[in-house]
Structure formats: C-alpha cells, structure tokens
Structure 1
Amino acid sequence: MHELTDAAVRAAKIHTEMTALKQAVLAEDPKQFGFTAERDPAIANLGHYLALRRHDIRPLQRRLMALGLSSMGRLESRVLPTFDAVLGALSCLAGAQDSATLLPSEAEFFAGEARLEAAGVVLFGAPVAHRRTRIMVTLPSEAAESPDLILDLARAGMDVARINCAHDGPQAWRAMTAFVRTAAGIVGRDIKVLMDVAGPKIRTGEVASSQKKARLQPGDRVRLVASGAPRIDSEVPFSAAVSLPEMVTRLSVGDRLRYDDGKLEAVVESLGDGEAVILVRRTKAGGTKLKPEKGINLPDTALGLSPLTAKDETDLVTVIECADLIGYSFVSRPEDIDLLDAVLASHGRNDRQLGLIAKIEQPLALSNLPALIARARQRGPFGVMIARGDLAAEIGFERLAEMQEELLWICEAASVPCVWATQVLEDMVKEGIPTRGEMTDAAMAARAECVMLNKGPAVVEAVSLLDRLMGRMNDHVFKKTPTLRALKSW
C-alpha cells in the first residue's frame, strides 16, 4: 500500500508539472516560428513541437519512465495527443476521477502518422509491400540511350528516377522519362520522375597545375579566376576557373572554402582583380586532386543569389512536360517557393500538380525551415531532401550528424516526407562492395520516406541490396520507434 501511495503522490506532482508545460506550449505564438496559427493540423502540430523543444524535459522524462509511462521521446507527429495520453494515465495513477482529461482514441493518437503516410503516397506513390522507404536513383547520362538499364533498375526496386538537370539536355531528359514510363508499365508499379533543377551551384571549371598528377596538400595555394583561363605561376602552382564569376568578386580575406563535398578545406588568403588566392588548410589522406565540375561551398560568404538561374527557368519548360516532381536546389526562404510558382505559371504549367522536393543544403534554409514548410504545404505535395553533402560542407561535418536527425524530427512533426541523400552506399555503387560504415548509414535511412542512390557502375546491384536491407529494417524500426518483431538469432 505504501508503494501505491508513493506512486500516486509522484504521479500527482508530475501531472501538475506536465499540465503547466502543456499550457506553456499552447501559449507560444506560432509567428515566432515564421508562420501564423494554421488550420492545417500538421503545421499546428509543428508549432507545438517547436514550442516544446524550447524546454529541456530530460529530468521529467526519467520520472515518467520510472512510472512505466511514455517518456515523451517519440511524440514528433502527435504532441498534444501524447500530452493528453500521459496526463490521463497520470490521473489514473494519482487516483483522480478527472473526467476533463480523457485519453485520446487510438485513431486520434496516431493521426499524425496517418498524415505522414498519406503525404508520402501522394508524393512518391504507394510503397511496395515489404518496405515503407522508397528508393530514388540518379540516372546517368547513358540512361538516355539504355532502356534496359532503367528496366533493370525498376526490377531491382527503384521507385523514383532522378534526372539531374545540371547534366545532359532536354532531348536526353525526354528519352529517360519515356524509358521510365515504359519500365513502370512492364513491372506494374508507379515509378515517379524527379527532375532536379541545378540552381546557382558553384563548381570548378577548367583547371591547371604545374604538375599534371599533383594533388593538393595543406599549405598549397590555388588561384580562382572569375573569367578567362586559369593562371599559374611559381608561387601559386594550381588554378581553376569557376562556374559563377560573382563568387570570386564577393569573397573576403579569411572566408572559408570547401571543395568536393568537404574533401578539401581552404581559406581566402588574398584578393586581386577578378581572382582570389586560397590557402589549403586540410585535405583527405593523400591529398586531393583539383578537377573540373567539382562543387565549391562558401560557408562564410553571403552571395545573395536567386535560387533559380536563367538556365533553370529554361529547363523548367521540359520539367513541366516530363516530371512528376521538381527538385529545388538552394531554396532558403518561403519567398523562394513563390518565385518557383511564378516561373512555372509563366511557362503555362498544366493542370497536373507537380510535387516539390526542397533540398536543404544551406544554413539559411535550416533557420527558415518551419516557415518554408508552412508555405510549401499550401501549394500541394511537398517533401524535403536532406542534401548531406552540401549541408556538411556548409555547416561542417561535426554538426551534420545531429542536424540530419533534427531535420527528420521537424519533418515528421509537420507530416513532410523526407529524402535521405548523398553518398548512400557510394562504394557499393562505384566498386560493387559496400563498406561496413555505409551499410550502417543506409540502414539508418529506413527512418526516412525515401533514400537516394547516386549513379555508378554497380547501381543496379546497390538498388537490390538496398531493397532487401530496407525490407529487413522495416520490421525493426518506424521513425524513432523500435518495433519488436520476434528475433530469430537466439
């Protein structure tokens, strides 16, 4: 009897604390997160989630666990229903006859999960029976002349075909799309086509070095030129043109630069007329080779560029014709969504609503994400791509691991499907044999609604492996929640 009394006292105290916490969450003004109070229940839940996460509830979580109750650790899609369920259970433990606090029904409790599942179906199509995570594959240029490759990918498990508009052209894109439609008919599944507009991606152009096979090492200097051919001399033996001349003119001494998804880090040492000299600080083991068409990230430099270039606006004509989904690079603000819609409207967008995938790859996109989500959900099918390569190069590898988790949580709270992207099974795709680390990374992708593979010689085999892996993980985990199927190893 003493233990029951003690539990009742503890439950009553926690009930009082949780009631106050719930009221604090409800009192938060959603305008501080970049959106107003919405009729959309997903956005309302997102506001509640963001308000709750301003509190450190770790001590409360442990006290709830000791009473055998939910620790509030998996409430992303159901903030208020979780509060109500826990408060109802606490009332029972405290011995209170509190008719005002009613346990939510099972349907009410899991309504957020249902919203997310429905959003995933609208965006990506229905999942296959054995896995909820779809598989997206970036098509190589040769896919425009190889219907057999696309059919092999479809048979292996591809659910979304990604066309990168930074490469090839409208004729090739139309051919790839036609082959995808044909393959989908043969395998009897709806395979979506995502066309990814390039945006103002900064890449190296023509390169030059005093030694053809030399690799950049810490202490080396590289001259970046805004126009004309690369220029080398005895003091700066490496040089590269850049795809975006404005980049060079907007740099400042001391600005950091990362090259090829962070394989090299450098700092701006000096500036000249239309050129900048950078000093290499870090490289991968053995050095890094300077090559054309490699990405450059500038985490300290405000470029002030539109997310849509003149090329993108031209490419959107073919995107409207061919695609089911648009991949939007460098989107950072809600106004960027309006800009895209205005360009689509100017091209006479047809009645078919194109889904939108916002690629989150810059710090500004992170800080504006709630408002961006609220705006994008108003226009139709919407998802977020965690573009881990560019994101890591912008915010640093040290922060990437926690940030990709936070993005998954925010998107789940808003019922927004997520794409887990960049270097998934990269060694497997390129070499045919995965590493242990990338297999673990791929398994973690089961918490997203879609996982993206890049192109490579062994991509068909990688899709097959990922299809099997996602099927097994489907039995073990749903988002942050372990699902305890019977174990067979012991």
Structure 2
Amino acid sequence: MKSTPSLKEMNDLYQTLFELRQNVLEQGMKMYQAVSPSIRRSSFRFSALNLAFYLAIRCHDLRPLQEKLLLLGLSSLGRSEARTMANLDAVIASLGRICHKQEHELIAYPAPKWFFHGNRLLAHNSNLIFGIHPDASYTNIMVTMPPEAATDYKLVRNLLEAGMDMARINCAHDTRDMWQAMLHHIHKAEKETKKRCKIYMDLAGPKVRISQVLVPGDDDRVFTDDFFFLARGKISDYPADYTGNVIITCSIPQVFDHLQEGDSVVIDDGKLNCVVTRLTPQGAYLRVISTKAKGFRLKNKKSLNFPKTPLDITPLTKKDLTDLDFIIHHADAIGYSFVRSRADILLLQDELYKRMGNKARNMAIIAKIETRDSVHNLPEIIVQAASRNPFGVMIARGDLAVEAGYHRLAELQEEILWICEAAHIPVIWATQVLENLVKTGIPSRAEITDAAMSERAECVMLNKGPYIVKAVSSLADIVKRMEGHQYKKAPQLRTLHIASDALKAFDN
C-alpha cells in the first residue's frame, strides 16, 4: 500500500504545479495575444483566453500529477475545461496551505464568480442558439424535418409537443416551396403550443457522390478483392483494356487533382472500402478491400469519401450561395458542411455580411466537424467563428467515422467536447441517435446508452423516420433523467435511490 506523501514530496509537487502554472500562463497569453486583435465580440474574449490556457495545459501529460493529487484528496485537474486557470489556482492554493507555505508564497483562491463564469458563458451561448428552456434543462433536441412536414401540420405540432426545441431543414433535399411550407407549420405550431422552436437550416455543401454508373459486365455488384473503375470525366471515358464489371464517375471530379495511388476510397458511409491501385489519364482503378459477403451494389448518389486525399474544394457551392439568400430571412442558425479551416469560416462570414450588413453578427453559425482536418483545426475554427458570430459545433459522427476511422471516433468525440467546453461553445451530438427507434419503433440497448451519453452535449439531433415523434418523447425523458446524474464530465451526486433503499433494508 502506498504511504502518505511526505512533506518533501508535497513540496516537490507544489513546485512542479507552480512551474506548470507559469508555463501555462506564458504559453496561453502568447496564443491569446495572437488572436485578440481579431475578436469583435467582447463576450468571447474571456472564452478565447480560457481556450488558450486549456490548450497550453493539455500540451502536458498530466497523469503523473493527477495520481499524486488524488492521494491528497485534491482535484485531479480533470474538470479544467471551462475554468482552466481557476481550477489550477484552486489546487495550488490548497496544496500551499497543506505544505504550510509562507504567506508570500501562497496563491489566493479564485473568486467563485470566476470559478463558475465559464459555465455561465456556455449556458448563455447555448441559449443564444437554442433558446431558453422553460424547465431550466440544458440539453436541447433538434429534429430533421421530413418531406411530410411540408404537408402534415399535425406531425410538426406533435414534434413540438413531444420536446423538439429546434427544427432542422436540410437544404440538400426538398424544394424551396417545401421549406416555406415547413416553416409555416412550425410557426403555426409555436403559436398554438406557446412553445418557441428555433430554425436551423443546413447548407448542402460540396458532397462528393457517385454521379453515374455503367455496367459493361454482367453484374453491378462488387466483392472483396474485385476491381472497378472510377472515371475522371465522362462515364464512357475508361481504358480500352478495362475488363471489369462496373464503371462509376464522381460528382466533383476535382478530387483527381490530388488523388494518389494507395489512397483510400470509402463508399456509402463505409459499406464499401477500396484503395486506389493505379491512376491513368482516364481515371483510377479501385480494389475492394472490404464489403459485405453478398457483395455491394454500386448505385447513383451513394456517398464517396477520400479520407487520405487533401481536397481543395470550396465548402460554399453556387447552390449554397443561392440558398443563403433564402436562409438569412428564415433561420436562427446556419449549418455549415465540410468546414476544414479558419478560411472556410471567414468565407461564410463574408457572404453573410454582404447580404445582411451588421445584422450578420446575430446569425448563429454551426460548423459540422466531419473531417480529420476540421478536428485538427478546431481551435482556429472556433476562434474565427465565435469572434464574430454566435457559434456552435456539430459532431457529424457518420462522416467523421468514415474520414478518421471508426476506431478513433470515440476518442475524437471526447476531444471535440472538451475543446468546445473550454471555449464555452455549445455542441450538437448528431448521426444515428436512436436510429432503430426512429425507424422501427423499438430501440436497441446500445443506442439507449448512446442517447444517455449525448446529454453531455448542449443539443442532440434526431433524423427523420416513421417513429420520430416517439423518439423525441423518449429522448426528452432520457436526457432529463441523466441531467440529474451528469454534467459534462462531472457526476452529479443527487440522492441515489439504490443507496436509500439499501439503507432502509439494513435498518429493518
């Protein structure tokens, strides 16, 4: 058994923490001063500073320190996201007093006002985007509007009554007239239910898909180790000596500007995984690495992902710019797909200011984090966006899993949650939440646990399906129950019924 730390060990720990504090202050201030001139929203200054401190402290491996702090009953620094320096100062202040440091060596305890200021900022930023909850809960529910929402008013009203806080209209689907009809039904339901529903409209973005399929062979299915051809131009432009069964083209042929032999190609969200084996002037030969045993049928409009290929494609298409003219008059928040860098955010902000002038500063932007680049560049994306607009992040788990690999999804999801909390930025937990319940009316056990974990985000998104009203009602119940037990990474130690019942049993 490990003995109680000696006074020398505690003094050494104090010195290590003090030096860590100096390093974090120096590095954090350096990062903050580099971005502070571009911050237009004064409310983001504290958040930008805290983000800088958090990034500085997370450059260190804190695990050895955490173990030593736990032995003293002190905070292990594991809840530093929203209040990095305040948390570190509180630990050093307590340890200094345990070590009987002289008055001039002690650090003052942070004032409660600053200790919890980050939580208040996060709540404020969440309210700007999702509205204020009448029951004071902090997890909102977003629902993707199905085409039926344009014609079935009762469906929209039922969704609002079941717990929908924000309606998502995906501009990649349906028509402008249908969007208008959906908006009419939402606003009508708001008046009748006396419940506010925010509007989120998703720009389609440059989604790469199969645009054409040609089957010169006798089967449109491909199996593991089969070869097929991805044509660079027209579907008829393929090598004369090609003998495979299937040729496809992609909707954005600019991918060939960067495609290399050995690059991965993922089709239909991972149902078909391929590798580029050879490039020709006409296109690329693809070998199937994995798919289901019965083979995969290549079809038009299926998604194409190139995880290892740097795609220099603008995230704002001509269609997006046209849709933006409609969106700015109806949406509370704009969903921005395929964001990879600070420059992508600036591009959208400039387009908003062209159309809206100074009113653009009130339009919320939601960046969909769905690529490895967007994860890597998340701090700069946050700073650029939140410096000028209310801002939130959507963890687009489907595309992110395809781009980064399923085995890394859980890890990246946590990192995104932590960095956003450090910047006091609300997060939307999206993709396949309660998918079985939405589609069949019966949830899987695993997706109930996933839904419970989604409570750590400020909003959860459900996709359309025949049982969507039931799913909204179920999700509202799940997150409300979980809010009594968990806030972000911190357990909330409310009265545990199991403990109370056990105590009564022993008393009897």
Q: What TM-score does the superposition give when structure 2 sets the normalisation length?
A: 0.90
Corresponding residue to 1:306 among 301, 311, 314: 314
Question: Take 1:377 and 1:62, find their aligned partners in 2: how far apart are those partners?
Answer: 35
1:382 offset after TM fit, Å?
0.2
> Where does the alignment leave 5 or more consecutive residues of structure 2 unmatched?
502-508
1:342 offset after TM fit, Å?
2.0
1:397 offset after TM fit, Å?
1.2
Amino acid at match of 1:480: K
Question: Take 1:24 and 1:402, find their aligned partners in 2: how far apart are those partners?
Answer: 26
Question: Take 2:467 and 2:205, find their aligned partners in 1: how far apart are those partners?
Answer: 28
- The 5 A counterparts of 1:250-399 are 250-284=258-292, 286-348=294-356, 351=359, 353-399=362-408
Matched, 1:458 2:454: no
Of the structure 1 ranges 169-178 and 276-285, higher mean CA displacement relative to structure 2 is found in: 276-285
Of the structure 1 ranges 459-468 and 33-42, higher mean CA displacement relative to structure 2 is found in: 33-42
Mark the CA change 1:320 to 1:470 in structure 2 (over 3 Å): closer, same or farther: same
Mark the CA change 1:73 to 1:364 in structure 2 (over 3 Å): closer, same or farther: same
Question: Take 2:296 and 2:14, find their aligned partners in 1: how far apart are those partners?
Answer: 58
Question: Which deviations, in whole Å up to 9, do the C-alpha atoms of 1:459-478 show, x marking residues without a partner?
Answer: 11111111111011111100
Aligned position for 2:88: 83
Amino acid at match of 1:314: T
Does the 8 Å CA contact 2:218/2:245 hold for their aligned counterparts?
no
Corresponding residue to 2:145 among 130, 139, 144: 139
Corresponding residue to 1:219 among 203, 206, 225: 225
Amino acid at match of 2:165: D
Mark the CA change 1:285 to 1:63 in structure 2 (over 3 Å): closer, same or farther: farther
Amino acid at match of 1:12: N
Q: Secondary structure at the match of 2:269?
A: coil
1:246 offset after TM fit, Å?
2.1
1:350 offset after TM fit, Å?
7.7
Q: What TM-score does the superposition give when structure 1 sets the normalisation length?
A: 0.93
Matched, 1:65 2:70: yes
Question: Take 2:448 and 2:222, find their aligned partners in 1: how far apart are those partners?
Answer: 30
Of the structure 1 ranges 69-78 and 101-110, higher mean CA displacement relative to structure 2 is found in: 101-110
Aligned position for 1:193: 199
> Where does the alignment leave 5 or more consecutive residues of structure 1 unmatched?
none
Q: Secondary structure at the match of 2:202?
A: strand
Aligned position for 2:60: 55
Aligned position for 1:159: 165
Question: Take 2:294 and 2:497, find their aligned partners in 1: how far apart are those partners?
Answer: 44
Amino acid at match of 1:95: H
Mark the CA change 1:135 to 1:35 in structure 2 (over 3 Å): closer, same or farther: farther
Aligned position for 2:428: 419
Q: Secondary structure at the match of 2:82?
A: coil
Q: Secondary structure at the match of 1:36?
A: helix
Aligned position for 2:22: 23
Amino acid at match of 2:24: V
Mark the CA change 1:348 to 1:413 in structure 2 (over 3 Å): closer, same or farther: closer
Amino acid at match of 1:383: G
Of the structure 1 ranges 153-162 and 336-345, higher mean CA displacement relative to structure 2 is found in: 336-345
Question: Take 1:89 and 1:219, find their aligned partners in 2: how far apart are those partners?
Answer: 62
Question: Take 2:204 and 2:185, find their aligned partners in 1: how far apart are those partners?
Answer: 22
Of the structure 1 ranges 317-326 and 94-103, higher mean CA displacement relative to structure 2 is found in: 94-103
Question: Take 2:284 and 2:178, find their aligned partners in 1: how far apart are those partners?
Answer: 37
1:453 offset after TM fit, Å?
1.0
Mark the CA change 1:249 to 1:332 in structure 2 (over 3 Å): closer, same or farther: closer
Corresponding residue to 1:183 among 189, 192, 206: 189
Does the 8 Å CA contact 2:28/2:53 hold for their aligned counterparts?
no
1:229 offset after TM fit, Å?
4.5
Q: CA RMSD in A?
A: 2.5
Aligned residue pair count: 487
Question: Take 2:26 and 2:124, find their aligned partners in 1: how far apart are those partners?
Answer: 30
Does the 8 Å CA contact 2:141/2:472 hold for their aligned counterparts?
yes
1:277 offset after TM fit, Å?
2.7
Mark the CA change 1:185 to 1:477 in structure 2 (over 3 Å): closer, same or farther: same
Amino acid at match of 1:435: S
Aligned position for 2:505: none
Does the 8 Å CA contact 1:31/1:37 hold for their aligned counterparts?
no
Aligned position for 1:468: 477
Could you tell me the percent identity over the aligned residues?
44
Mark the CA change 1:29 to 1:10 in structure 2 (over 3 Å): closer, same or farther: closer
- The 5 A counterparts of 1:97-116 are 97-98=102-103, 100-116=106-122
Mark the CA change 1:252 to 1:283 in structure 2 (over 3 Å): closer, same or farther: same
Mark the CA change 1:438 to 1:213 in structure 2 (over 3 Å): closer, same or farther: farther
